[in-house]
Each structure stands twice: as structure tokens, then as C-alpha cells.
Structure 1
């Protein structure tokens, strides 16, 4: 057996695996631990707002849903992000359908949720609160749908696990 050739092949394989692991992203094209400047460099548009500990981008998409994206920093290191989808839907059921579409997209990305909560329907109408949580690859992803007093919001939260 040619040990130098075997060692060289193993070294190339490990380098390729290491590149694959380090090229994975946590939120869009960003990775946890990046500085605000590094995160800005990953985005194609300028932030709509910048303040200490937060970058805001408006009208960004997640699986064809458009909303606002907030990158969150502690000590200038990316620790999380939140999408907010506020556009009005014609009915409570339409908002639940949007939630289910985003949940299906996240399930495709991260597998079956580790937690999946749906409150039962009430006499007043369809479900008012949904949530699902995925824990994978050192991060947590959570999607929430809340429909209170006619104000519906879908939130997708990314954070370190």
C-alpha cells in the first residue's frame, strides 16, 4: 500500500470537508459571530437602519414572503436575526396559510420541527396562535404566527442553539 498517496488523499478529503462545513451559512449568507461590517458585506442592499446592536433591512424575502429583517449583535458579533412579515392578509385563514407555507419551507430546510404547537380552533374562528421550533447544526429556528385583535404577524427567529 502506498501510504504517502493514501495520506495525501485523506488530507484532500479533510480539506474539502472542512471547506464544506465552513461555507455553510446560518442566516441568509451570514454566519453567527460575524461583525456588523461583515454581515453588511453579505447583503446586496444597504441597511434601511443601523443602530448599536442591530441592522435592519426592509422588503427582504424568505421563500417568496417579503418582510423586514433585523440582524442582532452582541459585542459586534452576530447572535441572531428576526424576520417580521406584517403585510395584511384578507382573512385569518389566509394568514394561517402563509404561516403553513413558511413552516413547510423551514421543514424542508431543517427537517421535522422538534416542537410544533397549534392551538385548537375556537368558536370565534380559525387558530389564533401557531409556533414551530427546529434545533439543528448549532442553531435554533422558530416560526410564530400570532393573530390577536385583527393584528396578525408572522415572525421567524434564528439564534444560536
Structure 2
């Protein structure tokens, strides 16, 4: 009995680093934090960039059958972050909420339960009317947020209204290059490309 218990503890000890992300081969998609723009472009063999500038490489792609803009963020020619920005337009804002939930479920499946999760009500008018949550979102009355952490990355998802549009953004930031990602967040990212960091 004692040997079985020791064996189980040993196996759990071996598997824990895999679950925590300590043995990750890639930081994001087929790239690792710190790679050059050239190396990241080479890793995206199935797509051509739609825009390349000093600090970003942009692609149009799909995740979970939704159109997204994929933005790689660089500082000093080193990959420091990446963003998926939902690029679907819905007439009914409730569809944004459904897409957010779908993305959050996929992130939870991959990274486990969020470290932090919240719904922030900025105006309580529709708080108790569940069928009006999409309207509340489009009016800027509410925003949604969740984040995860691995050994090498901080990951977050946010859904909010900004400048009369609903934004759904998934962000990945390197922990290894925090000074690079902070520089990117403050100086090199157009507000049209990404919302303020979390």
C-alpha cells in the first residue's frame, strides 16, 4: 500500500510541470518568446502576413470558426507578446458574448481554471435582465475579463465596448521579457490594434 502511494505521488510530481506549462515547447502557436520577426514569419507557414512594420506582424486567420486578426508584438526585434482580436461583426451584440464564452472555454480547457475572472458592471440598468446582456455590452454598461498564467506567459481575454465598437481580445505576454512587453504596451501599439493591457 505504501509503495502504491509513493508511486502515485511520484507520477503526480512528473505530470504537474506539464500541467503548469513548465515543459512547453512553444510560447504561442509555433513560436517562442524572444524570436525575431523573421523567425516568427517563418513559423507561420500556412499564412502570409497582411502587414509588417517595425514592431508588429499582422495576419488574418480563424480560431474556433471565428475571423480574427493575429498580431505578433515585438520590441528590439524580439517577440514579447501576441494578440487575437475578434474580427467578426455581429448585428446582435449578444453574439459577441457567446463568442467570448466560447473562447474562454477553450482557454480554460487548455490552461485550467482562470486565475482571475470578473464581470464589471459600469451601469446597472440591465444587470438583472439576462436577455439584455448583449445590449448592456454594446452600450458600455458591462465588460468581461479572465486571465491565466503559465510558467512563461500571462494570458488574458477581455470583452468590452470601446469607441462605439465591441472588442473581444485575447492577449499573450511573455514573462521572460517583461520589460520588452511593457515597452510594447506603452510605446509601440496603436490603440486600433489592441486595448490597454490588463
Q: Which residue of 2 aligns with 1:123?
A: 125
Matched, 1:106 2:107: yes
Q: Secondary structure at the match of 1:45?
A: coil
Kept in 1: contact 2:62–2:68 (CA 8 A) = yes
- Runs of 4+ that moved beyond 4 A: none
Q: Deviations over 1:44-98 (max 9, x none)?
A: 222111100111112x122322210110111111000111113212322211111
Q: Secondary structure at the match of 1:31?
A: coil
Matched, 1:56 2:58: yes
Q: Which is worse superposed, 29-38 or 126-135?
A: 126-135
Q: Which residue of 2 aligns with 1:76?
A: 77
What is the number of residues matched between the two proteins?
141
CA distance 1:72–1:136, shift in 2 (3 Å) = same
Matched, 1:139 2:153: yes
Q: Deviations over 1:124-146 (max 9, x none)?
A: 43153101010112101110101
Larger RCO, structures 1/2 (Cα 8 Å, 6+ apart): 2
TM-superposed deviation, 1:149: 6.8
Higher strand share: 1
TM-score, length-normalised on structure 1?
0.79
TM-superposed deviation, 1:109: 0.7
TM-superposed deviation, 1:108: 0.5
Could you tell me which runs of 5 or more consecutive residues in structure 1 were left unpaired when the two chains were aligned: 1-16
TM-superposed deviation, 1:25: 1.2
What is the RMSD computed on CA atoms of the aligned residues? 2.1
TM-score, length-normalised on structure 2?
0.65
Q: Secondary structure at the match of 1:21?
A: coil
Could you tell me which runs of 5 or more consecutive residues in structure 2 were left unpaired when the two chains were aligned: 1-17, 127-131, 176-198
CA distance 1:84–1:34, shift in 2 (3 Å) = same
